[in-house]
């Protein structure tokens, strides 16, 4: 895993205490993993969300699907009626996609450029998206959900409550990790100012 890519989101660069080596101090791979390990227990699901969001880590995505599925099963204990296994898969996939792509999905018509070429070769603003991203709405959630489980919109509305709870759960776990990492950054800055 490229943990340094993820840690760069939080501006963690490390400190070089050796005066002879010069240059910018960086955390070694072992120190980076240790930093993640120190904070992992606060919210493993939040870390998985960040690994999927920032690193596109497929192993983390598989594990996140497993954890999200457990949460979905817990939320659906009081569900009235029947639902297929594919419904759980669709709920998990949609919730994870929404949380890891919070600014929206890349527009398939303009490939994220927000500009399309018409039949006369004129460059026009894409009418399908805003700034190359299709924001999450009820319709886009439905479209994503039906890629796994093709159902009618009225049936999808029955799953909407569980989907909203899953998204909120994932966002909450992600927020816990971000808060822990920000605290870690502040403590690193405090320690570095004491040394200087």
The pLDDT value given to residue 3: 56
Which strand (E) or helix (H) includes residue 116? strand 115-117
Q: Which two tokens stand for residue 72?
A: 């979905």
Q: State the Rg of the chain over Cα.
A: 21
**In this predicted structure, what is the pLDDT of residue 9?**
57
Comparing C-alpha atoms, which of 129, 127, 163 is closest to residue 146?
A: 163
Selection from 32, 2, 21 nearest residue 184 by Cα = 32
pLDDT at 183: 79
pLDDT on residue 79: 84
Please check whether residue 35 is in contact with residue 11, taking contact to mean a CB–CB distance below 8 angstroms: no
| Per-residue pLDDT tens over the stretch 126-148 | 998 888 999 999 999 999 999 99
pLDDT at residue 142 in the model:
96
pLDDT of amino acid 29: 54
List the chain residues with pLDDT less than 70.
1-39, 185, 188-189, 191-196
C-alpha 59/C-alpha 91 separation (Å) is: 19
> Residue 63 in contact with residue 48, Cβ under 8 Å?
yes
**What pLDDT shows up at residue 5?**
60
| Structure token digits, residue 175 | 């927020």
């Amino acid at each position: 895993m490229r943990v340094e890519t993820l840690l760069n989101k939080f501006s963690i660069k490390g400190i070089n205490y050796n005066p002879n080596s010069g240059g910018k101090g960086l955390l070694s791979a072992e120190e980076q993993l240790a930093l993640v390990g120190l904070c992992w227990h606060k919210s493993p699901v939040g870390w998985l969300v960040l690994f999927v969001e920032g690193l596109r880590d497929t192993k983390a995505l598989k594990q996140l699907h497993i954890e999200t599925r457990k949460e979905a099963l817990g939320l659906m204990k009081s569900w009235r009626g029947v639902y297929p296994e594919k419904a759980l898969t669709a709920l998990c996939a949609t919730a994870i996609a929404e949380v890891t792509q919070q600014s929206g999905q890349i527009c398939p018509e303009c490939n994220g450029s927000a500009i399309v070429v018409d039949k006369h070769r004129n460059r026009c603003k894409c009418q399908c998206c805003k700034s190359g991203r299709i924001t999450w709405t009820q319709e886009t959630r439905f479209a994503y959900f039906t890629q796994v489980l093709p159902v009618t919109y009225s049936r999808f509305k029955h799953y909407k409550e569980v989907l909203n709870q899953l998204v909120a759960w994932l966002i909450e776990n992600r927020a816990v990790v971000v808060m822990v990492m920000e605290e870690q950054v502040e403590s690193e800055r405090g320690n570095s100012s004491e040394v200087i």
